[in-house]
Amino acid sequence: MSANLLSRANIRKIYKMVVRFQKTIKYHLFQKKKISSMIQNHVEIRSPNSRKILAIYFDGLPAKRLDLYGGIIPVPNFKKLAERGTLYNNYIVTAPSTAMTMTSMFTGLFPHEFGRYSWSKSDTSLPEHVIPLIEILSSEGFEMYFLWDEEFMTRRTQNKYKIINWEEYNINFLDIANKEIQTKQTTDMLTKLSKSNINKWFCFVRFSDTASSKYIGSAKSYSPYSFDDEVIEADAILGKLLETVDDSVDIIVFSDHGKCYGERGLFKYAFNLAETTLHVPLICSWGNGKVVDDLTSVVEFPNIILQNVIRKHKYLYADTAYAHQWNRNTMIRDGRWKYTYNRIGWPVPEEFYDLKYDASEQINLIGTYKDPYRDSRPKGDTASNKFSPSGLSLDGKDVSEVYPRNDWAQIRKKIKELRNERERIWLLQGVDERNYG
C-alpha cells in the first residue's frame, strides 16, 4: 500500500466510516428490539409517521415533597397524569447538576462512561459508539422543538452545557428565559403544533426553579418552606399543559435533580448526593396506571421515551463532578444499600446507608463513632465523666460495635463490594487519587 493510504488522516477516515457503519447496524437492531418490546409491554404501536412527544422538565424538583411520593404538598395534576400513565416511584438521577444529568438523559451513559475529565472546552467529546436520543429521533423523522435558550445549550461559559453537539441536528430552539411567561409561551407553541400538519414531533420544555411572583407564598398552608411554592407552581403548569394537548400526545414529566431544604445541614444541590437531591419524579402518560417500584436510573430516559425495554443494572451510579475535579464524590447504589465516597472528605470520607430502614439517611453505617458526650465535663449521676450516659465508653469505636443491628456481617460484605466497585470505575478513568490528597 502507498504511504498516503496509510497516513494518519486516512486511518482516521476509515475508523470513522467503520464507527458510522456500526452505529447504523446498532440502530437497525435497536428498531427491531423496540417493536418486540412494545408488544411485550402492551404499548400502543402508533403509525411511525404520527407520534407526538411532549417532554416537560421542571428544574430542581425533589420527589419527596410531592404527596404523590409521600410528601406533604398536594399535586393533583401529577396524580391525574399518573392515574392514566406510568408512575416511576424510584427514579434516580446520575448527578446533582443539570449538565451531567442531561448528558446521561440524552446518551444513556453514567457520568464515568462519558469519556470526560473536566468542564474544559477541549474535553467535550462522547464515546464514538454512542447514539444520542436526539440522533435517534432525528433519524426517525421527528421535528424537534426545544423551548430553552439556545445560548444556554451551546455557548455557555466553560461549555458546561455542551451535552451533545446540538448544531449537528435540526432543532428549533425557542428562547424561554422568563418564568413569568413560560407557560403561555409553551401553550402557544403547543396550540400552533396541534393546528399544523406536523404529525411527528418532539417538544422539550424546561421550566426553571424559583417560583414566579404569582406563586410566592402559594404553599404556606401546607409548609413553611418557600421552596415548596415551586412544587405548587409546577403542578399548576402541568395542569394548564394537560388542558392544551389532547390524548394523542405522549407526555413525560420529570426533573434533572432535586434539592435539599437543610437536611443534615445540606442546602440546595450542586455537590451533594443526598436522596433529596437524587430522587426525582418521573411520570409518563402511557401505561394505564402502571406503577414501577424498581430502581430506575435517568440513563434509561431514552428507553422510556422510545417505549423500549428498560435495562437492568447491577449498580446505579452518581457523581458530583468529573474525574479530574477535586470536588468529585461518587455514589453507588445496590437496591436498599447506598455507598458514597467523598473525595473532599466532607462531611466524612465515606457514607453507607440502609435506605429500606433509614430513608432519610440519618444513620451512617461506616466509620468510627463520635460520642457527643465524650468531653470531660461532669454529667450529674453518670457512672463516670469519661463515659456516655449509657455508662459505656463508645467514642472512637467502629460503628458496628455501637449500633444495635444483627446484620453487620452482611453490611461489611456489601461495603467491601461497593467500595471495590467505586475504585474500579475510578481506575478505568485513570484516576490517581494521590493527586487529590
How far apart CA 296 and CA 302 sit, in angstroms, is 12
Secondary structure of residue 41 in the 3-state scheme: coil
φ/ψ of residue 261, rounded to 5: -100, 5
Asked if 304 and 346 sit in the same domain, the reply is no
Residue 266 forms part of a structural domain:
yes
Asked if 73 and 199 sit in the same domain, the reply is yes
Asked if 254 and 361 sit in the same domain, the reply is no
User: CB atoms < 10 A from the CB of 398, how many?
Assistant: 13
Q: Which of 239, 172, 182 is nearest to 209 (CA)?
A: 182
How far apart CA 318 and CA 101 sit, in angstroms, is 9
> Which parts of the chain have pLDDT scores under 50?
1-3, 5, 34-35, 38-39, 42-43, 45, 158
User: CB atoms < 10 A from the CB of 188, how many?
Assistant: 13
Q: Which of 74, 94, 42, 108 is nearest to 305 (CA)?
A: 108
Question: Is the bond preceding residue 74 a cis peptide, omega within 30 degrees?
Answer: no
pLDDT at 18: 57
Residue 23 forms part of a structural domain:
no
pLDDT at 41: 52
Residue 29 forms part of a structural domain:
no
pLDDT at 132: 94
Q: What is the pLDDT of residues 260-297, one digit of tens each?
A: 887 887 777 778 999 999 999 999 999 999 999 999 99
Q: What is the pLDDT of residues 357-390, one digit of tens each?
A: 999 999 999 999 988 766 555 555 555 655 566 6
pLDDT at 227: 94
Asked if 169 and 60 sit in the same domain, the reply is yes
How far apart CA 436 and CA 117 sit, in angstroms, is 14
Residue 363 forms part of a structural domain:
yes
pLDDT at 152: 61
Asked if 89 and 128 sit in the same domain, the reply is yes
Q: Which string of DSSP letters, residue by residue, matches 301-338?
A: HHHHHTTPPPPP-S-EEEESS-TT-TT-EEEEEETTEE
Asked if 281 and 410 sit in the same domain, the reply is no
CA 14 to mean position of chain CA atoms: 36
Q: Which of 340, 354, 362, 358 is nearest to 407 (CA)?
A: 354
How far apart CA 398 and CA 408 sit, in angstroms, is 11
Q: What is the tally of structural domains in the chain?
A: 2
Asked if 240 and 93 sit in the same domain, the reply is yes
Residue 372 forms part of a structural domain:
yes
pLDDT at 432: 72
Cβ atoms of residues 298 and 284 within 8 Å: no
How far apart CA 57 and CA 241 sit, in angstroms, is 12
Asked if 259 and 344 sit in the same domain, the reply is no
Cβ atoms of residues 342 and 329 within 8 Å: yes
Give residue 362's domain range: 338-436
Which domain CATH number covers 119?
3.40.720.10
Asked if 294 and 421 sit in the same domain, the reply is no
Asked if 309 and 342 sit in the same domain, the reply is no
Asked if 209 and 301 sit in the same domain, the reply is yes
Q: Which of 377, 292, 230 is nearest to 92 (CA)?
A: 292
Asked if 344 and 262 sit in the same domain, the reply is no
